[in-house]
Amino acid sequence: MEEYYDRPKDIVRRNSLVAGIRRKGIDDERVLAAISKVPRQLFMPEELHDKAYVDRAFPIGEGQTISQPYTVAYQSELLDVDPGTKVMEIGTGSAYQAAVLAEMGAEIYTIERQKKLYEKVQELAYLKRYENLHFCYGDGFLGWPDHAPYDRILITAAPPEIPFSLVNQLSMRGFMVLPVGKAGFQRMMRITRQADGVLKEEFDLFSFVPMLPGKHQ
Ligand code: SAH
């Protein structure tokens, strides 16, 4: 059966979104293929469905946003995942980014501190197809030690400084992709765990909602 999010016009819109992301410099075919498949409208409030393939962040409630598709692509490309790569994501939000990584075949452990957002995502029938997607209501600053070590950590909210305590939950030579900085613009960084410490790399500037401590009811 053709699902309503896989109508010819949805496919055309997703392909044109992917073409735009490609023009902005993303060339990881694994990432682009996943973005061309995941129906972004399902992760957005009904009244925004006609804007689902506009390359922008949108509000999803609780003062939070669904990331801009270009940002999702950028972080996914830096994350360099293959089928089976074990990833912890901090900031489930709408779960769109998590679905893109799950579509790429990665094993995803994603954490959200806002209870309402966590609960909303549990009701999303589309996500039931991914056996490789696991959700947690918790504080990302503590990580998810039960499933550590991870090959990758992805943070989709911005901590003011690098949360070095999470490095312990990375495997050796594993790395963390995250925006770092205060409100406004933050620097995308990649922090790789090495035997003698960490390697820090810096990338472009982005604008994320803040990573906040503790759980929120
Ligand atoms: N990946 C999301 C982006 C959501 S915005 C998407 O694709 O839609 C960032 C999310 O991080 C928000 O939902 C916010 O509540 C959450 N967040 C902020 N601080 C957090 C923390 N300490 N632990 C877990 N989630 C956090």
Residue 202 has pLDDT above 70, yes or no: yes
CA of 84 to the centre of ligand 1 (A): 23
Q: Where are the alpha helices (DSSP H) in the chain?
A: 8-23, 29-37, 69-79, 96-103, 115-122
Name 137's Cβ contacts closer than 8 Å, sequence gap at least 6.
111, 112, 113, 115, 118, 215
List, for residues 124-165, the tens digit of each pLDDT value.
999 999 999 999 999 999 999 999 999 999 999 999 999 999
Residue 189 has pLDDT above 80, yes or no: yes
Q: Is 67 a catalytic residue?
A: yes
Cβ of residue 97 lying under 6 Å from some atom of ligand 1: yes
- Rounded to 5 degrees, φ, ψ at 142 are -95, -10
Mutate to test the pocket of ligand 1, among 40, 43, 56, 64 (most ligand atoms within 8 A of CB): 64
Fold annotation for 8-206: Rossmann fold (3.40.50)
Cβ of residue 67 lying under 6 Å from some atom of ligand 1: yes
- Give domain limits for the chain: 8-206
What number of CA atoms fall less than 13 Å from residue 14's CA on the CB side?
A: 18
* Two structure tokens written together for 182: 């205060």
